[in-house]
Amino acid sequence: MTPNRAHNFSAGPAVLPLEVLQKAQSELVDYQGSGSSIIEMSHRGPEYTEVDRKARERLTRILGLGDDFEILFYQGGASLQFLMVPYNFMFGKTADYINTGSWSKKAIKEAKVFGDVHTAFSSESTNFNRIPRDEELKFSGKGEYLHFTSNNTIFGTQFRNEPVSNGLPLACDASSDFLSHPLDMKRYGVLYSGAQKNAGPAGLTIVILRKDFLGKAHTENVSSMLSYPIQAGTLFNTPPVFGVYIFNYVMEWIESKGGLEALDRMNRDKAAILYDEIDRDDFYLGTAEKESRSLMNVTFRLREDALEKEFIEDSKKTGMSGLKGHRSVGGMRASIYNACPKESVEALISFMQEFRRTKG
Ligand X SMILES: Cc1ncc(COP(=O)(O)O)c(C=O)c1O
Residue ranges in contact with ligand X by CB under 6 A: 12, 77-79, 103, 149, 153, 173, 175-176, 194
> Nearest approach, Cβ of 117 to ligand X (angstroms)?
17
> Nearest approach, Cβ of 199 to ligand X (angstroms)?
11
Concerning whether 103 is annotated as a catalytic residue, the answer is yes
What are the backbone dihedrals phi and psi of residue 217, each rounded to the nearest 5 degrees, phi first? -65, 145
Residue 302 vs 332, nearer CB to ligand X: 332
d(CA 275, CA 298): 8
Q: Which residue of the set 173, 177, 253, 270 is catalytic?
A: 173
> Nearest approach, Cβ of 5 to ligand X (angstroms)?
22
Q: Taking the CB of residue 309, how many other CB atoms lie within 10 A of it?
A: 13
Asked if 120 contacts 138 with a C-beta cutoff of 8 angstroms, the reply is yes
Residue nearest to ligand X (CB): 77
Q: Which residue of the set 52, 96, 177, 197 is catalytic?
A: 197
Residue type, 170: L
> Nearest approach, Cβ of 135 to ligand X (angstroms)?
25
Beta pairing partners, 147: 97, 171
d(CA 62, CA 199): 12
Residue 241 vs 302, nearer CB to ligand X: 241
Q: Taking the CB of residue 211, how many other CB atoms lie within 10 A of it?
A: 12
Concerning whether 68 is annotated as a catalytic residue, the answer is no
What are the backbone dihedrals phi and psi of residue 307, each rounded to the nearest 5 degrees, phi first? -70, -35
> Nearest approach, Cβ of 33 to ligand X (angstroms)?
34
> Nearest approach, Cβ of 173 to ligand X (angstroms)?
5
d(CA 355, CA 360): 7
> Nearest approach, Cβ of 77 to ligand X (angstroms)?
3
Q: Which of 106, 1, 72, 119 is nearest to 239 (CA)?
A: 72
Residue 89 vs 159, nearer CB to ligand X: 159
Residue 173 vs 277, nearer CB to ligand X: 173
Residue 140 vs 231, nearer CB to ligand X: 231
d(CA 86, CA 110): 8
d(CA 197, CA 214): 26
Residue 41 vs 225, nearer CB to ligand X: 225
Residue-wise DSSP of 157-197 = EE-SSPPP-TTPPEEEE-TTTTTSS---GGGEEEEEEESTT
d(CA 106, CA 86): 12
Crossing angle of helices 342-359 and 305-317, in 10° steps, is 130
Asked if 99 contacts 124 with a C-beta cutoff of 8 angstroms, the reply is yes
Residue 95 vs 199, nearer CB to ligand X: 199
Q: How many residues does the chain have?
A: 360
Q: Which residue of the set 52, 96, 103, 253 is catalytic?
A: 103
> What are the residue numbers of the active site?
103, 173, 197
